[in-house]
Chain A
Amino acid sequence: MSARRGIAALVCGLWIVAALAIDAGEAFPDAPRQERYLALVHELRCVVCQNQTIADSNADLAADLRHQVRDRIARGESDEDIKRYLTDRYGDFILYDPPWSARSAVLWVAPALLLVVALVVIGRVIRARSSELNQEESS
């Protein structure tokens, strides 16, 4: 296990920068597909260099995965199809944008929930302090 980790560290770590992450192939001639491609590769987690997206990772596997994404877009698959293809094989781990599911519901609900809670609590405090001020002033 540590030998595998060692190789991954050499490829990923902080050592190599971006060189192999650069695509050698042609970009899509039309903007919408190229945008989809760029958006997708910036959302998918590299399974070797696990702190980078496949767009930025030097690993061979990242290049292979980028090719997969490119080929599938060229074949007309939707973003959902492509993501499903990858999660069928690597699990939700490969998505940096956690999909809506029981496991990630907390994450997606939290921002709104916390805001609402904060607003409610603050509202109460302000109301109390406001009436305190009124009492102070009127007495």
Chain B
Amino acid sequence: MTRVLRQFWPFWVFLGLAAVFAKALIGIDRGAIDPHAIQSPLLGKRAPEFDLPSVLDPTQRVRLQDSAGRYRVINVWGSWCVACKAEHEALLKLHLQQSIQFIGIDWKDDPSTALEYVRKLGNPYDAIADDQAGQVAIDYGVYGAPESFLISPQGIVLAKHTGPLTEAAFAAEFAPLMKPGATS
């Protein structure tokens, strides 16, 4: 047995490597592995506080703590973002169906353009924060738009979804994490 191992050692090493590659490819094909995706270290941690002017009314402020005690979805978007348009319909629907808070973070955007955008296409958010500086996005480890975070009533980040948030994704990734009674 050991003779087989010793004599064939390059063979085993190579086969091992090939197996790892095969596993990687199958994972990528299934969507389970994405070499471009960055795993968020915020999961299970306290969601970063923020205090930004509101896009809808610049005299008002939007703070995370304002919605404490409720489940909320924080959605990072911009009027310049093509993929965000793709999720807009779904967001509108989800906002109607769910009784949780939807907070939009308008990332690196001109507030007046953003205002036009929601006026024309509909506003799925309970509040829209103006993050022109991009500081809050960095705090949340955002690396592209759109991204959505599910925050617990106690302020813990439960889940993160990168890319357009679809109803299916919400049902699969966010809904199961919310205790019953939070949605209607």
Contact present for B83 and A90 (CB under 8 Å): no
Q: Which one of A19-27, A59-67, A97-105 contacts B?
A: A59-67
Contact present for B143 and A47 (CB under 8 Å): yes
Asked if A4 meets B41 with Cβ closer than 8 Å, knowing A64-B134, A65-B138, the reply is no
Residue of A3, A90, A93 with most partner-chain B CB within 10 A: A3
Mostly helix, strand, loop or mixed at chain B's interface?
loop
A75 sits at the interface (CB 8 A): no
Contact present for A3 and B164 (CB under 8 Å): yes
User: 1/0 per position for B22-36, CB-CB distance to A under 8 A?
Assistant: 000000000000101
Contact present for A64 and B163 (CB under 8 Å): no
Asked if A64 meets B138 with Cβ closer than 8 Å, knowing A4-B163, A93-B39, the reply is yes
Q: Closest CB-CB distance, B30 to chain A, in whole Å?
A: 14
Contact present for A87 and B41 (CB under 8 Å): yes
How far, in angstroms, from A1 to B161 measured CA to CA in the complex? 10
Contact present for A89 and B82 (CB under 8 Å): no
Q: Which residues of B contact A65 (CB under 8 A)?
A: 138
A91 sits at the interface (CB 8 A): yes
| Docked complex: B118-153 residues within 8 A CB-CB of A | 133-135, 137-146
Contact present for A5 and B36 (CB under 8 Å): yes
User: 1/0 per position for A46-87, CB-CB distance to B under 8 A?
Assistant: 011010000000001100110010000000000000000001
B63 sits at the interface (CB 8 A): no
Contact present for A4 and B83 (CB under 8 Å): yes
Q: Closest CB-CB distance, B101 to chain A, in whole Å?
A: 23
Mostly helix, strand, loop or mixed at chain A's interface?
helix
Q: Closest CB-CB distance, A42 to chain B, in whole Å?
A: 19
Asked if A61 meets B82 with Cβ closer than 8 Å, knowing A1-B162, A4-B163, A68-B138, the reply is no
Residue of B137, B138, B145 with most partner-chain A CB within 10 A: B138
How far, in angstroms, from A75 to B180 measured CA to CA in the complex? 46
Asked if A3 meets B82 with Cβ closer than 8 Å, knowing A47-B143, A90-B143, A91-B40, the reply is yes
How far, in angstroms, from A6 to B86 measured CA to CA in the complex? 14
How far, in angstroms, from A48 to B73 measured CA to CA in the complex? 23
| Docked complex: B10-28 residues within 8 A CB-CB of A | none
Q: Which residues of A contact B61 (CB under 8 A)?
A: none
How far, in angstroms, from A88 to B40 measured CA to CA in the complex? 9
Q: Which residues of A contact B39 (CB under 8 A)?
A: 91, 93
Q: Which residues of A contact B137 (CB under 8 A)?
A: 61, 64
B4 sits at the interface (CB 8 A): no
Residue of A4, A65, A93 with most partner-chain B CB within 10 A: A4
Q: Which residues of A contact B90 (CB under 8 A)?
A: none
Q: Closest CB-CB distance, A5 to chain B, in whole Å?
A: 7
30 A-B residue pairs with Cβ-Cβ distance under 8 Å, sorted by A, are A1-B34, A1-B162, A1-B164, A3-B82, A3-B163, A4-B83, A4-B144, A4-B162, A4-B163, A5-B36, A7-B81, A7-B144, A8-B144, A47-B38, A61-B134, A61-B143, A64-B133, A64-B134, A64-B135, A64-B137, A65-B138, A88-B41, A89-B139, A89-B140, A89-B141, A90-B41, A91-B39, A91-B40, A93-B38, A93-B39
